[in-house]
Amino acid sequence: MTVEYAPADLPKTVHAVADVRASLYLMVQLAVRDYVAGVTLDELLEGRDAMNAYLADKIGPEAETIGVTVKRVGVKDIVLPGDMKALLNRVIAAEKEAASAAIKRNMTKRSAFAAPLAKAPGIVQMYRPSGSGSSARLAPH
């Protein structure tokens, strides 16, 4: 995480907190926990910009209470714990396997349907409208 800040009211800061950096860090940590609790894993992994906007909106007013102006706050990387990474990798692999199996089933169904047609092309006859008038009678081709 990165937080760029500047003192806005130095006397207020001196009286409000003993360590500005530690206080800002705690504010950001709590805001990150709030954000993570309200989104899905996919939203978290795909929405770093949304998270940064949330943090800026949340931290800015809180920092002002201790006499500090937050210029920018952001998350560099989202790092999942090892067991969470392994679980996510298994889910991705399972999704790919399911998609592959669905494609194979679809291809099998198509080939099972196409094989009899290839052996006996007379099974399927094309029909077209006969005549050029407005009556649309179907006649064998």
> What are the structural domain ranges in the chain?
2-79, 83-130
CB neighbourhood size of 77 (10 A): 6
Query: pTM for this structure?
Result: 0.57
Q: Which stretch of 31-40, 97-106, 114-123 has the lowest confidence by average pLDDT?
A: 114-123
CB neighbourhood size of 107 (10 A): 10
Model pLDDT for residues 55-86, shown as the tens digit of each residue? 999 999 999 999 999 999 988 877 777 777 67
Ordered alpha helix ranges (H), 17-139: 20-37, 41-46, 48-64, 82-119
Question: CATH says 2-79 is which class?
Answer: alpha beta
